[in-house]
Amino acid sequence: MQALHIYTGPKARAALAANGLQPQHIATIPGAAGGPKGLILGALDRFIFGDWLLRSQQPVDLVGASIGAWRMATACLNDPVAAFKRLEHDYIHQHYELAPGQKRISAAQVSETFGENLQSFYGGRVPEVLQHPRYRLHIVTSRGRHLLRTEHGLRTPLGYLGAFLTNTLHRKAMGAWLERVVFSSPAAEGGAAALPFATGDYRTRHVALSEANFTPALQASCSIPFVLQAIHNIPGAPAGAYWDGGITDYHLHLNYPGTQQHKDAMNSGAAGAYSTGASGLSEHQGLVLYPHFQKSVVPGWLDKGLKWRHRSTAFLDTMVLLAPNPEWVKTLPNSKLPDRTDFTHFGNDLAGRVKAWTTATRASQQLVDEFIAWLDKPDMNLVRPL
């Protein structure tokens, strides 16, 4: 059974039809929120960052929320293959022991353990991330406003209820409760590296990453409300409570064609950039390569049940999305991708969960094998519209 499905926006499809897909064509790589579902992308991450992209030289923007931020930050480490293997191992083997009679681990316990794990994972290595010669990291977080400005036992649930109701009416209006704050690699000239997407879609702030705020920003991006505690007052950023970047940007449905910051860095000779014409892309505008765990690129976490917001838009015109075939997913343990419900399903049965998740991640090598085969002989009949 075919494991990999390839989806594209219209401009990306024209580009692939004209030129195939080469590593020098890539300008941006997003990493979605989604918890354990991101484990299915480990083999693709190791191939893309440990092999394929090394055959090119252009700068690449890496945009991540939640586990996607952890993945994209890991890509910036020296020896990314070894780093991704450790991330996979550490994520699969994380365990929160339930005491007798305890049905759910507390947010404080999860936050403390997760913070310690991040410190261990990136300890002494943050400069590798911030000073990567090619990759510019952008960590997406959600900062609370008004009732959500600080975490509180009563105000926080009320604030998220307000955000839910407001978002149902209009996504942009949710900015009254939560704003997008992006922490980006430092720019050579000072400040934060330019964002690879336009920000007119939603209330946004932009902050430069540093050694002082890297770990709290990354932990904030992974801090699911009520599952982990918010991170307060991140150095160099506006005061307040910061939560999971997936709340505002679940699958990073961002306006990628809205900016062409790579214009100075890319040229047709050095980076193989596309020109106007058959490719459908303007000069120096690269593609967005998106290893994802599903076809839909859902804007915000609160949009999961709003199916009309799951459709593709012009924001994704330059995107090439790689996702597992839903029928292939049914062949995995429990007929699904690893997900957060497995923590409850397996409870204290760590060995059972580790076995299920390890089986799934090993099977994901088929995604890589099929991607390599398609890169060698691009077949546009296998490319589906987003």
> What's the confidence (pLDDT) of residue 262?
39
Neighbours of 252 (CB within 10 A): 28
> What's the confidence (pLDDT) of residue 271?
36
Per-residue pLDDT of the chain (386 residues; tens, 9 = 90+): 999 999 999 999 999 999 999 999 999 999 999 999 999 999 999 999 999 999 999 999 999 999 999 999 999 999 999 999 999 999 999 988 777 777 778 999 999 999 999 999 999 999 999 999 999 999 999 999 999 999 999 999 999 999 999 999 999 999 999 999 999 999 989 999 999 999 999 999 999 999 999 999 999 999 999 999 999 999 999 999 999 999 999 999 999 998 755 333 333 333 344 443 444 455 446 999 999 999 999 999 999 999 999 999 999 999 999 999 999 999 999 999 999 999 989 988 999 999 999 999 999 999 999 999 999 999 999 999 99
> What's the confidence (pLDDT) of residue 104?
78
Structure tokens at 59: 């700068």
Q: What angle do CA 365, 366, 368 make, to 5 degrees?
A: 65
Pairing of strands 287-291, 319-324: parallel
> What's the confidence (pLDDT) of residue 101?
75
Residues 6 or more apart whose CB falls under 8 angstroms from that of 221 comprise 64, 65, 66, 69, 70, 139, 140, 141, 244, 245
Give residue 133's identity as a one-letter amino acid code. Answer: P
Distance CA 345, CA 339 (A): 10
> What's the confidence (pLDDT) of residue 174?
98
Strand partners, 192: 186
pTM, to two decimals = 0.94
> What's the confidence (pLDDT) of residue 268?
38
